[in-house]
Structure 1
Amino acid sequence: MNELNEYVKAAIMGVIEGLTEFLPVSSTGHMILTGRLLDFEGELADTFKVVIQLGAVLAVLVLYWKRFIGFMNVTPAALKRPGINILHVIIAMIPFVITGFTIHGFIKERLFGPTPVLIGLIAGGVLMIVADKYRGKVSAETMDEISYKQAFGIGLFQCLAVWPGFSRSGSTISGGMLLGTSQKAAAEFTFIVSVPVMFGATAYDLYKSRDFLSVADIPLFLVGLVAAFAVAMIAIITFLNLVKRLSLSWFAYYRFVLAIAFFIILYI
């Protein structure tokens, strides 16, 4: 594994990102664990793992482009129409943005490692099982029925995702279900909110990492971005179909198995 070309490693990481970004299994956790197996670690690798998430996010922009164009209409009349609008997105972003900016250094220094990821996988899985069992009465069957209050609550749950391994989609879908949204509505809303959140997180991470990044790193990042984008296009559609058939608990069981497998591989 360690002898693989750096660009091959970047492509593998991009595929992993594209497959897992919108599944409630933690894409960052998967990339950190995969990075350990590929010997793709360090400051550059940590920034790479954040930046290539943009590839998956761009897939959301392509698939939901009409929705995002609609968000540009911020007239009072538009904001009063039924359905989610830009205010829903902003309200859901605020808690995560404040949390991320406040403890960004701690996250990169202390939590970007296998052990915190394994803890996050287990803890996030427990939350998903709890959400499955104690979900609230559904008041928002579709994404457009989500209220401002539910959007803010989902944003609060999204803060759990600053811990690698917890999973942004796992946290927000669980939170949405506990707050009365359907599993599919919460999943789609998660896709929408991920776009501005990840653009902001990537820009901030690149700024914080400016001292050790160089123009020579651009091709490596592009390989990961393109791979993540291509795979995520397929993964998003597949996941929405899976949501109709599988409960969150199935993804939680996968997380438990993954955590146990990597614990054995890395520590035994």
Structure 2
Amino acid sequence: MYSLWDALIIGIVEGLTEFLPVSSTGHMILTQSLLGIPESDEMMKTFEVVIQLGAILAVVLIYWKRIFRLFGLAGREEQRGPKLNLLHIAIAIVPALGLAFIGRHFIKDYLFSPTTVLIGLVLGGVFLIIGERQQPKVTATDMDQLTYKQTLFIGIAQCLSLWPGFSRSGATIAGGMLAGASRGAAADFTFLIAIPVMVAATGYELLDSYKVLLSGSMAFFAVGFVVSFIVALLAVVTFIKLVSRLSLTYFAYYRFAAAVLYAIWLFSGK
């Protein structure tokens, strides 16, 4: 049985990294490896799902007005002018969800390891730099200005995040910038589409492992959920405020440094 300190540490890591372009999956795998937790541990896999739900709840809280607007539940003033609609969301999430469904067994069996995460951290960092340096003329300064073509490009870019360590938010923010969206518009859209993507992924996993949840320590799961929610809330709010002036290259450099340090630890016999 794991301690509440394990729940606290992993919950903080999840909350900090889930919506930043640094790969939460990669950091979770690396953190658990550092804590000596086996990769095949069923209770920890269920715990990961639970704390991801905490992170999702944080984004729902931040974007609740936008969600209402998507379903036509906002006030008249907020409904005026061009706006994002559910078709934009569907176009952006279908490619990754479809590919994940088809290749889920291969991904789980062959890609979830510290070595593949190291590769993903580096490749994801390179993609962030490409998105920052090769961005064409900005045509969407706000996510309401995104076209269907741009959201499709973002959806295709999101498929890269199926490789652990690449980062879903990193792939979609950089992909959005390469499609002509501003950094802020790409980030906002990334956080918004994270909700259906993560609900679908975690919901599927939870149905598969709910018995483990019921048989485990509820205090352990509760601590992870609450910590992940609070930290994710703070992380997203902070990132939203900084994203317009914070280059993605900083996150790329962090990823490179993290990959190097962990590789040294991993291949030096721990």
Q: What do the CA deviations read for 1:214-267 (whole angstroms, capped 9, x no partner)?
A: 433544332211111001111111112221222111110100000000001111
Aligned pairs for 1:28-39 (under 5 A) are: 28-39=25-36
Aligned pairs for 1:151-230 (under 5 A) are: 151-210=151-210, 213-230=213-230
- Shift in Å at residue 13 of structure 1? 0.6
Are 2:108 and 1:111 equivalent residues in the alignment? no
Q: 2:24 aligns with which of 24, 27, 37?
A: 27
Contact conserved, 1:46 with 1:108, CA < 8 A, in 2?
no
- Shift in Å at residue 211 of structure 1? 6.4
Are 2:59 and 1:60 equivalent residues in the alignment? yes
3-state SS, counterpart of residue 166 of structure 1: coil
Structure 2 CA distance for partners of 1:211 and 1:107, relative to 1, 3 Å: farther
The letter of the residue matching 1:46 is K
Contact conserved, 2:139 with 2:181, CA < 8 A, in 1?
yes
Q: What do the CA deviations read for 1:183-224 (whole angstroms, capped 9, x no partner)?
A: 111001000000011011001112233565543354433221
* Structure 1 stretches lacking a partner, 5+ long: none
Aligned pairs for 1:70-109 (under 5 A) are: 70-73=69-72, 82-109=82-109
* Structure 2 stretches lacking a partner, 5+ long: none
3-state SS, counterpart of residue 137 of structure 2: coil
Contact conserved, 2:43 with 2:216, CA < 8 A, in 1?
no
Aligned pairs for 1:219-258 (under 5 A) are: 219-258=219-258
Partners of 1:121 and 1:50 in 2: how far apart?
A: 21
Determine what percentage of the aligned residue pairs are the same residue: 51
The letter of the residue matching 2:71 is M
3-state SS, counterpart of residue 69 of structure 1: helix
Structure 2 CA distance for partners of 1:62 and 1:34, relative to 1, 3 Å: same
Partners of 1:187 and 1:106 in 2: how far apart?
A: 29
- TM, length-normalised to structure 2: 0.91
The letter of the residue matching 1:119 is I
Partners of 2:139 and 2:218 in 1: how far apart?
A: 46
Structure 2 CA distance for partners of 1:225 and 1:152, relative to 1, 3 Å: same
Structure 2 CA distance for partners of 1:230 and 1:212, relative to 1, 3 Å: closer
- Shift in Å at residue 66 of structure 1? 0.9
**Larger displacement relative to structure 2 (83-92 or 180-189):** 83-92
Contact conserved, 2:53 with 2:225, CA < 8 A, in 1?
yes
Aligned match of 2:12: 15
Aligned match of 2:150: 150
Partners of 2:216 and 2:265 in 1: how far apart?
A: 33
Partners of 2:142 and 2:96 in 1: how far apart?
A: 23
Aligned match of 2:260: 260
Partners of 2:27 and 2:91 in 1: how far apart?
A: 28
Structure 2 CA distance for partners of 1:35 and 1:183, relative to 1, 3 Å: same
3-state SS, counterpart of residue 52 of structure 1: helix
Contact conserved, 1:9 with 1:40, CA < 8 A, in 2?
no
Aligned residues: 263
- TM, length-normalised to structure 1: 0.92
Are 2:68 and 1:69 equivalent residues in the alignment? yes
